[in-house]
């Protein structure tokens, strides 16, 4: 962890302070998203004894941040306000602000937001990533634009955390691509509809599978209604998308064992929109589909917001974002630190 001189002094006075701060912040954050909760379920979630948890609960209650009632533990209004506003201060104290600055330089992204915590050990972190992305989205919205969203759990979290409030007039929300045939809640069509409902604006859907043969693609492109929707998608000014690991996405797309082996031999580590990337950001495989294409990201889309987290996705994030810079990257602390580990100390070359 890289510290400022003031932070180093605080560590000398109270070296246990960061651990206490993070522990209580995580506790408040979990209650914020899942209240009402009982002590037993909280102890199980954080894998600590009930006696230890009881002490933390008592401290937070005495500070007026939580309420302990028969129905369970909830946040007070002061607690809710603290959870939603503490992040910038917490990030600075934990060195995450400096981490964001390092990632901006390494990945050449305009802006990086690192959410405290590790997605792979705390499911609430995904919701925090979604909330961070919604703040960026709201700042990018303009009247009359087209907003495209992809499928996946990260984009679903953005839809979940987006506050219900009117957007500027004339905005249309569309799916960035066809569907993968996955869980309905994570399909691009479903997410686009939910985002539009939260923004109280219009949406159009693309009811087609994401993976099609070249012949089928050409045939569909001759259909007037489909072409109209595709033209709308390709006019998007804002795009929100996630990043998948190559192996996971190939498996979800129903790749045969020999195809999986070929991807491994080609060094594929990440996937976006059916394009599989190696560690150098080179496309080693492409599955034809309908929707936004890579050239659209640089040529027409004004703001690209990437939401991806988890240490296991670090290589995929570097391969995609590090070699094809986006405007905004939202990720968790676990992925951010793992990305730094992948880069050599002598230069800006990732070690994989």
Q: Encoding tokens for residue 176?
A: 């960035």
Q: Write the CB contacts of 183 (distance below 8 Å, at least 6 apart in sequence).
A: none
Query: Domain spanning 95-342: which CATH class is it, in words?
Result: alpha beta
In the chain, which residues fall in CATH 1.10.10.10?
A: 5-84
Please state the rounded mean pLDDT for residues 6-19.
Answer: 74
Q: Encoding tokens for residue 53?
A: 């948890």
Segment 226-260, tens digit of pLDDT: 888 888 888 999 999 999 999 998 888 778 888 88
Do residues 94 and 22 lie in contact, with contact meaning Cβ atoms separated by under 8 Å? yes
Q: What is the 3-state secondary structure (H, E, C) of 108-123?
A: CCCEEEEECCCCCCCC
Query: Domain spanning 5-84: which CATH class is it, in words?
Result: mainly alpha
- Does the structure show a pLDDT above 70 at 3? no
Least confident of 6-15, 19-28, 246-255: 6-15
What is d(CA 199, CA 168) in angstroms, rounded to the nearest whole number? 9
SS3 48: coil
pLDDT at 129: 96
In the chain, which residues fall in CATH 3.40.50.1360?
A: 95-342
- Share the mean pLDDT of the chain: 87
Query: What is the number of alpha carbons within 13 Å of residue 119 lying toward its C-beta?
Result: 27
Segment 107-120, tens digit of pLDDT: 989 999 999 999 99
Q: Encoding tokens for residue 99?
A: 């981490």
pLDDT bin (cut points 50, 70, 90) of residue 208 is confident
Residue 1 burial by Cβ neighbours in a 10 Å radius (0-12, 13-18, 19+): exposed
């Amino acid at each position: 962890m890289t510290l400022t001189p003031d932070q180093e002094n605080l560590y000398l006075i109270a070296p246990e302070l960061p651990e206490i701060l993070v522990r209580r912040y995580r506790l408040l954050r979990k209650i914020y998203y899942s209240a009402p909760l009982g002590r037993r379920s909280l102890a199980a979630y954080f894998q600590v004894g009930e006696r230890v948890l009881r002490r933390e609960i008592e401290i937070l209650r005495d500070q007026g941040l939580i309420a302990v009632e028969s129905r369970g533990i909830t946040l007070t209004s002061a607690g809710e306000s603290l959870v939603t506003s503490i992040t910038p201060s917490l990030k600075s104290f934990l060195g995450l602000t400096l981490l964001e600055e390092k990632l901006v330089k390494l990945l050449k992204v305009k802006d990086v937001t690192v959410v405290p915590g590790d997605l792979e050990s705390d499911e609430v972190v995904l919701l925090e990533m979604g909330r961070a992305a919604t703040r960026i989205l709201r700042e990018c919205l303009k009247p009359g634009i087209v907003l495209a969203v992809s499928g996946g759990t990260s984009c679903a979290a953005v839809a979940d955390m987006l506050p219900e409030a009117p957007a500027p007039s004339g905005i249309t929300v569309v799916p960035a691509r066809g569907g993968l045939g996955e869980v309905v809640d994570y399909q691009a069509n479903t997410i686009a509809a939910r985002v539009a409902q939260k923004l109280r604006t219009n949406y159009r859907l693309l009811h087609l599978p994401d993976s099609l043969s070249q012949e089928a693609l050409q045939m569909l492109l001759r259909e007037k209604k489909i072409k109209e929707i595709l033209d709308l998608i390709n006019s998007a000014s804002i795009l929100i998308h996630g990043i998948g690991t190559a192996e996971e996405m190939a498996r979800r797309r129903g790749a045969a064992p020999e195809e999986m082996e070929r991807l491994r031999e080609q060094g594929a580590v990440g996937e976006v929109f059916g394009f599989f990337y190696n560690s150098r950001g080179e496309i080693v495989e492409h599955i034809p589909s309908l929707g936004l294409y890579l050239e659209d990201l640089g040529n027409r889309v004004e703001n690209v917001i990437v939401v991806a987290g988890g240490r296991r996705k670090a290589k995929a994030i570097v391969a995609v974002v590090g070699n094809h810079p986006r405007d905004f990257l939202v990720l968790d602390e676990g992925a951010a630190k793992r990305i730094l580990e992948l880069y050599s100390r002598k230069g800006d070359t990732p070690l994989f």
